[in-house]
Structure 1
């Protein structure tokens, strides 16, 4: 089957209104006072990008990624013309073509988000054309549910379930001094109390720390059940990550990879020996095809892979179920009513610390408020 058309639209889905965007959370911009109090004050283009791929038989595949108008432009102005008219039979070949075409200009970030959005839509189209859910197209799974760890700003809301971990977003970095460090530790004590015995706690530093601060934090948290520190330092700073790994308590892992945008980035982390948990995001790191290659690489190591922000991405849940043994997944707590939980299908069914494996043969389906952006003559970048 040949590809008839590819179209991307950036749609405002309320991402900037989420609690994790509007409250103080450490970030690479925390050292600049103007941008320290909220991620929403500086965050990259935050509209969700929906990608629609139509096959010549009338089936439609959908993908979704981040990057707003920038990623929308890459898909519409570049990737669409490369793939329109191509045969759907070899999605890996199509993904390779997209990635190769961007190499002279960009090898990560927005470029790979654009590739990911198209790749996810191609897999969805292939699954629909074959009449089976994605999890079966990927090889099938005997699992009906997957264990979940929760990333949340409100740990007390998750004291009643057998979650497989609670993760905090660090509010402070080195710029906040000793007072900020003590506030970070106090937050983790709240998480430990809420999690209860035998439930690990984790913290996401979102590239806001340095080696000295990371080690000071770990020392101050020595009496807490801290399983990992996530992204304390930019992933390209392997030298400082090695120093942290060498001096850090060996029982505390470094969780890295959701800012690794390709198999090459993930390979660098694996070769360095610093990563204890690898966390690529399927919608950022080149899509399903690229992440399958990452899973193959990691299978030859003792490094577990937990796909980033899994529960908002039905394709990530399908991959975890079909392609991993003993998979664990992440759910980001957006509150009770956020539309971000249901951008490509029904809200994930969470119960007993587990999430249901998606098996809907209709595949990815954007919500109704997104569809007008794809009407004939709709202006690109106008959100729903």
Structure 2
């Protein structure tokens, strides 16, 4: 089947109003007082980007990624004109074609989010054309559900519940001195108390620390069951990561890859020998086609993979169920209700610390306000 149209639309979905955005959470901007109190004060374009691909039979596939108007522009003004008319017989080839077309300018961040949005929509369209769930196209899944760890600002809400772990967002970085370090340690102690002795806890530093601070923190939490520290420094600072890995308690892993936007970025991390857990985001790192290659590389390196923010991405759940042995997935706690849970269909069911494997052949279905945004954009897209 050939592609007849591709279009993208950036839609406000409330990302910047969630608690993890409005509360004190460390970030690369924490050292600037104006932006230290919340991620919402500086975060990159936060509208969700929905991508619609139409086949020659009139059927549609949907993808969703981040990056707001920037990614919308890349899809509409660049990738769409390259992809319309192409045959969908080889999705890996189409993915490589999109990525190569952006290589002279950018091979990370917004560029690969755009590639991911289109790629996810192509896989969705392919599954719908066969009237099969995506998980079957990816090889099928034996398990009906997968174990979940929770990223949450409220660990007490998950106390004594059978989740595979609880992860905190670090509130402070080096700019907050000893008091900030003590506060970060107190967060870990609070999480450990809620989790209990048999449930590991983790912390996400969101690129806000440096090697010295990471080592000080690791020493300070030596009596707490910390499974990993996530993204303490920039993933391209290989020397800094190698120093951390060399000097830090070997019982604490480094979880990296959230900000690795392609298999090339992930390969660099894997070659460094520092990765304890690789955590690429399918909707940021080039989509399903790229993620399949990343999973293969990590398996060869014997490094476990936990796909970032899995439970908000049915395609990531399908990948974990079909292509990983002993998969573990992440759910980000956004409160009892959030539109971010239902951007491509019903909220995934989580019970007993496990999430259901997605098996609905209806595939990705965006909510009505997203469909309305596409209808409103049709005249402008046609003129362009």
Same fold (TM over 0.5): yes
Give how far 1:379 is off.
Answer: 7.3
CA contact under 8 A between 1:5 and 1:54: conserved in structure 2?
Answer: yes
Q: Within 1, Cα distance between the matches of 2:91 and 2:145? A: 27
Give how far 1:377 is off.
Answer: 4.4
Give how far 1:160 is off.
Answer: 3.5
Q: Within 1, Cα distance between the matches of 2:118 and 2:369? A: 20
Go from structure 1 to structure 2 and tell me whether the alpha carbon gap of 1:195 and 1:287 turns closer, same or farther (over 3 Å shift): same
Q: What is the match of residue 186 of structure 1? A: 186
Q: Within 2, Cα distance between the matches of 1:7 and 1:316? A: 22
Q: Can you list the C-alpha shifts for 1:56-79, whole angstroms capped at 9, x where unaligned?
A: 111110000000000000000000
Q: Within 2, Cα distance between the matches of 1:176 and 1:377? A: 46
Q: Within 1, Cα distance between the matches of 2:380 and 2:15? A: 19
How many residues are treated as equivalent by the alignment?
A: 381
CA contact under 8 A between 2:160 and 2:196: conserved in structure 1?
Answer: no
CA contact under 8 A between 2:192 and 2:225: conserved in structure 1?
Answer: yes
Give how far 1:302 is off.
Answer: 2.0
Q: What is the match of residue 362 of structure 2? A: 362
Q: Within 1, Cα distance between the matches of 2:346 and 2:10? A: 21
Q: Can you list the C-alpha shifts for 1:85-118, whole angstroms capped at 9, x where unaligned?
A: 1101111111011000000000100000000000
Matched position secondary structure for 1:179: helix
CA contact under 8 A between 1:109 and 1:261: conserved in structure 2?
Answer: yes
CA contact under 8 A between 1:312 and 1:341: conserved in structure 2?
Answer: yes
Q: What is the match of residue 141 of structure 1? A: 141
Q: Within 1, Cα distance between the matches of 2:290 and 2:250? A: 30
- Determine whether 1:298 maps to 2:298: yes
TM-score for the superposition, normalised by structure 2? 0.98
Matched position secondary structure for 2:362: coil
Q: Within 2, Cα distance between the matches of 1:258 and 1:133? A: 26
Q: Within 1, Cα distance between the matches of 2:325 and 2:187? A: 33
TM-score for the superposition, normalised by structure 1? 0.98
The 5-angstrom pairing of residues 40-51 of structure 1 reads 40-51=40-51
Q: Can you list the C-alpha shifts for 1:191-212, whole angstroms capped at 9, x where unaligned?
A: 0000012100000000000000
- Determine whether 1:128 maps to 2:128: yes
Q: Within 2, Cα distance between the matches of 1:73 and 1:110? A: 10
Q: Can you list the C-alpha shifts for 1:340-373, whole angstroms capped at 9, x where unaligned?
A: 0010010010000000000010000001111111
Q: Within 1, Cα distance between the matches of 2:15 and 2:282? A: 18
Q: Within 2, Cα distance between the matches of 1:242 and 1:205? A: 17
- Determine whether 1:20 maps to 2:20: yes
Matched position secondary structure for 1:340: helix
Q: What is the match of residue 217 of structure 2? A: 217
Q: What is the match of residue 342 of structure 1? A: 342
- Determine whether 1:308 maps to 2:308: yes
Structure 1 runs of 4+ with >4 Å offset: 376-381
Runs (5+) with no aligned partner, structure 1: none
Matched position secondary structure for 2:271: helix
Matched position secondary structure for 1:228: strand
Q: What is the match of residue 199 of structure 2? A: 199
CA contact under 8 A between 1:263 and 1:290: conserved in structure 2?
Answer: yes
Give how far 1:376 is off.
Answer: 5.5
Matched position secondary structure for 1:44: coil
Q: What is the match of residue 240 of structure 1? A: 240
Q: What is the match of residue 82 of structure 1? A: 82
Runs (5+) with no aligned partner, structure 2: none
